[in-house]
Amino acid sequence: MAQNFDVVVVGAGPGGYVAAIRSAQLGQKTAIIEREYMGGVCLNVGCIPSKALITAGHFLHRMEHQAPEMGFQVKNVTHNMAQTQKWKQSVCDRMAGGVEQLLKGNGVTIIRGEASFKTATEVTVKTKAGNEAVTAKNFVLATGSRPIEIPGFQFDEKAVLSSTGALALNEVPKSMVIVGGGYIGLEIGGMYSNLGSKVTVVEANKSLLMGLADSECVQVVQRRLKKAGIEFVFEAKAKSWKKVGNGVEVTVEVAGKEQKIAADKVIVTVGRKPNSDQANLKGLGLQIDERGFVKVNAQRRTSIANIFAIGDVACQPMLAHKASYEGVMVAEVIAGHNRVYDAKTVPSVIFVDPEIAAAGWTEEEAKANGHADLKIGKFPFAANGRAVSLMETDGFVKIIADAKTHVVLGVHIVGPEASNLISEAALAIEMGARLEDIALTIHPHPTLGETMMEAAEATLGHAIHIIQKPLAGKTGAAGAARANA
């Protein structure tokens, strides 16, 4: 006999479990189906474990390169990667366990197994005990994504690793080749470089993070990574690899010529693809676009009215926090609330060294969206007391605003704690804040957050802690307000 529900969520990642919890809160009889990880890729083999290992890499880097300058003599430092992995797993297990408790605490029925759609109102779930039938008035697809393989580099998670395999190594490779200079590759590469690995990045484009971050921010990161000893091979195509002894030899093509790179491991990080080829979605008749995303409208409703899709399987950007936002929204739509996806910005963070974070438009995007006249200002971390005391002075905060209205259109940060600082920018953009709103807000001292205020002042033309050329006798509204005060 089938189990019957009002809402069934397929996939317990950061979109799925949030959708299930919110549905239950709204009085819907709710179930969630998960075949592998409670918390999904993010909490188990993606966001959380990678940030844990990146933190470990920073600890070692600071001990070796910054502690001596502060007066600490750190000698004979050893590193046990297996112990680091054990600690990392404890972080993941704690987070995943928390998700399960939240689901149970909100009355969500957890079904462990793999779902396959039989009809638009019924799925068959393959469990350890056998097949189970589950029916629902509404389904939410939150099946996520997986790493993309490229020809000749199929993952065996021994010599050729995906991001999943790269985050599970119990020994730090002496050397590695990373195919792909996007955010995943650079986060992993930077982490292993800090832990002592010799890293070579093979990138098809002319620079790193193409189309993923402000170009000036990327330049800061590229210089820092190069200084750390990471090598880059640009405009290169990975052709093949072969096993040589205990390592690998990767053949890349650069300007029509082949080049050989020897390493212990090769990690392929060229992006992720949506899991729309699973759960019999095509057999169900759902419309799927040429990139593999399930087609959805502004409410994340698919071509079948009672089925919704959120997160990586639905559309870009493929970010956990976007999926969570959609999870809440879809649950409320199903419950009868009048909601659509109307976020002005989805902030992004790249956990390289230094971090990059952004909210809103780049200069090019702002102009393409009708803002021909812009105000753009920057404030460097080198002029911030807290950054100096942290020995983290590379980078800046850049603000892009409409020249006439002073409405903030985009904020781009490269530097220490950019991942934490960007939330203020996201709130400002969501609220339609003007430069004056940020510049006239008192920020505590000494903090990194002051850089946001000072960047707003710089964009208005009257920064205090950097020297700027005067703006033809104009002080700007914030400056005038302070003068009058």
Location of structure tokens 């790179």: 261
Name the phi and psi angles at 439, rounded to 5.
-65, -30
Please, are residues 288 and 294 in contact by the beta-carbon 8 Å criterion?
A: yes
Phi, psi of 290 (to 5 degrees): -65, -20
Cβ pair 117, 283 in contact under 8 A: yes
For residue 120, how many other CB atoms are within 10 A of its CB?
A: 17
- Phi, psi of 365, rounded to the nearest 5 degrees: -65, -40
Burial class (CB in 10 A: 0-12, 13-18, 19+), 132: middle
Residue 381's alpha-carbon distances to 61, 223, 418, 420, 426, in angstroms, are: 20, 16, 11, 15, 20
Q: CA-to-CA distance for 188 and 201, rounded, in angstroms? A: 11
Termini Cα distance of the chain:
74
Neighbours of 55 (CB within 10 A): 15
What is the rounded distance in angstroms from the CA atom of residue 186 to the CA atom of residue 192? 10
The C-alpha atoms of residue 284 and residue 294 are separated, in whole angstroms, by: 12
For residues 18 and 99, the answer to whether their CB atoms sit within 8 Å is no
Give the whole-angstrom CA distance, residue 210 versus residue 218. Answer: 9
CA-to-CA distance for 13 and 323, rounded, in angstroms?
Answer: 9
DSSP E strands, 213-347? 231-233, 236-244, 247-254, 257-263, 265-268, 272-274, 307-309
Asked about 65 being catalytic, the answer comes back as no
Q: Say which of 61, 321, 445, 462 is annotated catalytic.
A: 445
Just list the catalytic residues: 445
